[in-house]
Amino acid sequence: MAVMITDACINCDACAPECPVAAILSDDNEKNPYEGVKFYVRPESCVECVSHADTPRCAEACPTEGSIVWDMPFTVEFNDYYASGHEKGVYQIREHKKKGLMLPEMKEQAFMAEISIDARTSHVNVMDSF
């Protein structure tokens, strides 16, 4: 991942059009595990805007403090974290017909190395890092 969207989200749709990799699902998308509740970032798609922008575009666009927070890098080191989150329904990782669940062990994603693991574990507000 990734960044994640919290319960502070007001479903305003300012973030999704800004994402360069279409990683954000709206609250009326049936693939969103929080359908009817809040927007959702697909961790298997989010690249933290690396190679696209200096700061995550979704967080820059979001009007609601604390709606978009850091999550763990989508890397093999955190494979179990995402596998267990998927089982608990925190995430809904995409299932590839042949490859199976697109967990980090199948495909890692870019992440901002300068963001500390502490900030990620604590799910700090993304824009507080810039």
- The answer to whether residue 62 forms part of the interface with ligand SF4 (CB under 6 A) is yes
- The answer to whether residue 64 forms part of the interface with ligand SF4 (CB under 6 A) is yes
CA distance 1 to 14: 20
Residues 108 and 74: beta-carbon distance below 8 Å:
yes
Minimum CB separation of residue 78 from ligand SF4 in Å reads 16
Residues 14-33 that bind ligand SF4 (CB under 6 A): 14-15, 18-21, 23-24
121 dihedral zone (left: phi>0; alpha: psi -120 to 50; beta) = alpha
Residues 38 and 5: beta-carbon distance below 8 Å:
yes
- The answer to whether residue 12 forms part of the interface with ligand SF4 (CB under 6 A) is yes
Binding residues for ligand SF4, rule: CB under 6 A, are 3, 5, 9-15, 18-21, 23-24, 39, 41, 46-49, 56-58, 61-62, 64, 67-68
